[in-house]
Structure 1
Amino acid sequence: MTSNYVTRDNFGMYAKNADGPGPAIMGADTLLGNDVYNREGEKLGDIKEFMVVMATGQIDYAVLSFGGLLGLGDKLFAVPWAALSLDTHNKRFTLNTPKDVLKNAPGFDKGHWPAIADKAWAGSIHKFYGTPYSEV
């Protein structure tokens, strides 16, 4: 089953296309679980979590789950928010990363999260995905 922001909308936010939120402002809970595809149309996984900078409220990363079977053996990736784009036509996210490249991306498992606030780690992740990074 496809999981997207429309199927996860429990409050009718997206019932009308002309009114209400989206796509400029979206409900966070409706985005969790959304599918992520690359530009070649390959499914890369789905969004499991958002990492929010508490001082600003800015989303820095979406945590993408990739691989495994029925949630077992999944590898997690902290993908910079700037690397994702919302595909409103297909109601999913797009990450411009080939599947083979993502298999070798810096990732982690559920029991071994990286120090996401670490500036050296963040710089390497942004470099991998080709997104801008400022240590400020």
Structure 2
Amino acid sequence: MSYEDRDPYGIYKSNAQRKSSNSTGTGPGPQLMGADTLIGNDVVSLSEDDLGDIKELMLDMKTGQVAYAVLAFGGFLGMGEKLFAVPFSALRLDTLHKRFVLNVERERLQGAPGFDKSQWPDMADAEWARGVHAYYGSKPYADSMNR
């Protein structure tokens, strides 16, 4: 299911769809998107390998920034899946296929720092954040805000 399928407010309707439904105005998507509509979206690698799906978006309540997307990978029917905090800046939205793309191959993701749903890390810990950002080759959003 894509973000368009989870869009109860018509954020992502095209202008043609709006005209046929007698709706006025244009929505903000995909420049601004609703968090609920992104949860559940698929994530693939650059080589189109399935890497899982987004389970949650973690917001930094001090800055208002999306800090991490929680990616679920592996397992079967939710059993044995591993969770990964992927810096949101490391994801790219593919609006053509309605999914996210992560510049990490499947083998590298399998070795990424992950966690079990019963033991979440302290994502507010600066040391932990540096390690995660280093792994994905992204820059912590807080670094760009301090300039």
Name the TM-score, length of structure 2 as normaliser: 0.87
Task: State how far apart, in whole Å, the 1-side matches of 2:3 and 2:68 are.
Answer: 18
Structure 1 gap segments, 5+ residues each: none
Letter in 1 for 2:136: Y
Task: State how far apart, in whole Å, the 2-side matches of 1:48 and 1:84 are.
Answer: 14
Is 1:94 the equivalent of 2:92? no
Superposed displacement of residue 4, structure 1: 1.1
Change (3 A) 1:17 1:68: farther
Task: State how far apart, in whole Å, the 2-side matches of 1:43 and 1:118 are.
Answer: 29
Letter in 2 for 1:131: S
Residue equivalent to 2:5: 7
Task: State how far apart, in whole Å, the 2-side matches of 1:25 and 1:13 are.
Answer: 9
Q: Which has the higher helix share?
A: 2
Matched-pair identity in %:
55
Q: Over aligned residues, Cα RMSD in angstroms?
A: 1.4
Which of residues 19, 23, 31 is equivalent to 2:30? 23
Residue equivalent to 2:19: none
Superposed displacement of residue 17, structure 1: 4.8
Name the TM-score, length of structure 1 as normaliser: 0.94
Task: State how far apart, in whole Å, the 1-side matches of 2:31 and 2:45 are.
Answer: 21
Higher Cα Rg, which structure? 2
Superposed displacement of residue 12, structure 1: 1.7
Structure 2 gap segments, 5+ residues each: 17-25
Q: SS state of the match for residue 132, structure 2?
A: helix
Residue equivalent to 1:54: 61
